[in-house]
Amino acid sequence: MRTLVAVLAGVVAILIATPLGYQVRSPGFVPVAQVTQRVMARAFQRHGAPAPRARQVAQVVYAEAERQRVDPLLVTAIITVENPTLTRRATSTEGAQGLMQVMPFWRRSFRSCGANLRDDRTNICMGIRVFKAHLASAKGSVRRSLLGYSGCKTTPGCERYPGVVLRRHATLRVALAEGR
């Protein structure tokens, strides 16, 4: 009990001393959103996206992921696998579209996101909702929800998809922790 009280007191002291949403890594305060978006944009660039487009998409992903309470780094990892060059008009052989490669039939379920899957905000909003729907049906298993998200059923090798996404997510978390 004393240990728990000591830990809680330490957390409260940190929260009081540090404004929420800021890191104390560098001289002065750097907003967490800014550092996170920089990490995300660099990941997009490493996978072939032009810098201006990478920054633009990182802002949209961050805002929508925060709004839907999903880890923006996980969304970034999914996008770097689904559409690494951030091509708006990308369409898979199965018909999935846009940044997060969303199947058009999902528009009926998530109308509040919009209808144009070529629009970044609409696609990301819908892609996150699709992922969250799979997460709910997978009872919180991120690995199983990623299998569902990718549509993995009988395609040889599709079972590797969650591992690829989760490795990229881990790399992004390390980069964020190091502030780069």
Cα–Cα–Cα angle for 39, 78, 63, nearest 5°? 55
Asked if residues 90 and 97 have their Cβ atoms less than 8 Å apart, the reply is yes
pLDDT at 10 over 60: no
Extract the tokens encoding 79: 């996008």
Query: Do the domain assignments include residue 34?
Result: yes
Q: Is the pLDDT reported for residue 180 higher than 80? A: no
Which pLDDT band, with edges at 50, 70 and 90, does 1 fall under? Answer: low
166 lies in a domain?
yes
DSSP 31: E
What local confidence, expressed as pLDDT, does residue 17 receive? 39
Domain-located, residue 25: no
The pLDDT of residue 19 is 42
Q: Is there a domain that residue 5 lies in?
A: no
Q: Using CA atoms of 172, 164, 153, 76 in order, give the dihedral in degrees to the nearest 10.
A: 20
Q: Tell me the residue range of the domain where 129 lies.
A: 30-177
Query: Residue 110: inside a domain, yes or no?
Result: yes
Tally the domains of the chain. 1
**Tens digits of residue pLDDT in 107-123:** 999 999 999 999 999 99
The CATH number for 73's domain is 1.10.530.10
**Does residue 6 lie in a domain region?**
no
Residue recorded with tokens 């992921």:
65
Query: What is the reported pLDDT for 114?
Result: 96
Q: Catalogue the long-range contacts made by 83-91 (C-beta closer than 8 Å, 24 or more residues apart).
A: 84/44, 84/47, 84/48, 84/49, 85/47, 85/48, 85/49, 86/44, 86/49, 86/53, 86/54, 86/57, 88/118, 88/119, 88/120, 89/118
Residue 39 included in any domain: yes
Whether 178 shows a pLDDT value over 70: the answer reads yes
In a domain, 4, yes or no: no
**Alpha-carbon distance 41 to 55, whole Å?**
5
| pLDDT, tens digit (0-9, with 9 covering 90-100), for 119-174 | 999 999 999 999 999 999 999 999 999 999 998 876 778 899 999 999 999 999 99
Closest by Cα among 36, 38, 98, 100 to 71: 36
Decide if pLDDT at 8 tops 70: no
Indicate the helix (H) or strand (E) that contains 23.
strand 22-23
